[in-house]
Amino acid sequence: MKCRISVTLLLSTLLVLPALAQQTNPNSSAPPAASADRTAPASQSVGATGRAPLQPMTSKDFWDGDEPNVVNLVSHPFARKSYVHRQTDPIRDRLKELDELSASNTRMIKDVDTRAQQGIQLVSAKTNEADQHAMAADKVQAAQSSVSQTNAHISKVEQMVGSVDQYKGGEQTEIRFRPGQNALSKDAKAVLDQMATSLKDQGSYIIEIQGFAPGQGQAAIVASRDIANAVVRYLVLNHQIPAYRIFVVGMGNAPVAAEGVATAKDTSGRRVEVNLLKNELASSTQR
């Protein structure tokens, strides 16, 4: 009799346990709602990948397939592999999409940086080219100014040469040099100072300087030009006489014809004759 009672109690317990397990899991009685929660969109927000955020998955049982009872919980304490994949695969996909998006952004940033560097280099090259053009323009302008000044000077000389027949002889000065020397004496400097002072503020004159030196041939000509150039340097450096108003001739040992004498006289020693020629026509016009 006692054995029958024990068997009856055991069977009753086995029948009651599933009912209790059904009562402890109220979500198992409403599987359509869980499925609806899984498929329905949670919100209209969009993440960095352009897709809606992941929603938490709800299960109708312990491990998606086992009935919610004590026996299955005891016999299957660990999750199945398929269940783990279903839970982790969406996360793995989103991580992969984020990696691809990050790589795409990195490539875009690198491309923008490359184009910016190319633009900076192009601007720098254009700036250098503009600087070179500006320098070339300055050089051209300076050359044009120099040419204009030269043309003006040439025109002035041409006018002077064109009216050379209007120049008449005036003062004549003779400067003596010691044998073998080209230095001006004190008396020679005084004579040149007096002549240069009289030419101050005048513009219609020409100074003719002829050098004479004893000797033969080319050597005498070179020596005569040396002493004539000594007079030119003194007038230009000490009295600012324009060089284009001075004409130098090296006569060497050529004889010089005296006024009123048919035959020429021989030169003796080293000497320079300074002849002052004035343009009478220009002087009368100025007056």
Nearest 5 degrees, angle CA 271-CA 274-CA 279? Answer: 165
* Phi/psi at 249 (5° precision): -135, 125
Say if residues 235 and 256 touch (Cβ distance below 8 Å). no
Q: Note the pTM of the prediction, 2 decimals.
A: 0.40
Quick check: helix, strand or coil at residue 284? helix
Task: Determine how many CB atoms are found less than 10 A away from the CB of residue 78.
Answer: 8
Q: What is the pLDDT of residue 120?
A: 92
Burial code (b: 16+ CB inside 10 Å, e: under 16) for 46-58 equals eeeeeeeeeeeee
Question: Rounded to the nearest 10 degrees, what angle do helices 217-239 and 186-198 cross at?
Answer: 60
The strand ranges marked E within the chain are 167-177, 205-212, 246-252, 256-257, 264-265, 270-279
Question: What is the residue-level pLDDT of the chain in tens, covering all 287 positions?
Answer: 666 666 566 655 655 455 454 444 444 444 444 444 444 444 455 555 566 666 666 655 555 555 556 566 565 556 667 767 777 888 888 888 888 888 988 999 988 989 898 889 888 888 888 888 888 888 888 888 888 888 887 777 666 666 555 677 777 889 999 888 889 999 999 999 998 888 887 778 889 999 999 988 899 999 999 999 999 999 999 989 998 889 999 888 887 655 554 444 455 689 999 998 887 665 544 44
Residues 185 and 127: their CA atoms lie apart, in Å, by 62
Six-digit token string for 274: 């300074």
Six-digit token string for 141: 């302008």
- Tell me, rounded to whole angstroms, the distance of Cα 94 from its chain centroid: 51
Residues 166 and 147: their CA atoms lie apart, in Å, by 29
Q: What is the pLDDT of residue 79?
A: 60
Residues 152 and 139: their CA atoms lie apart, in Å, by 20
Max distance between CA atoms of the chain, in angstroms, equals 191
Task: Determine how many CB atoms are found less than 10 A away from the CB of residue 18.
Answer: 14
Contact residues for 182 (Cβ-Cβ < 8 A; gap 6+): 226, 227, 230
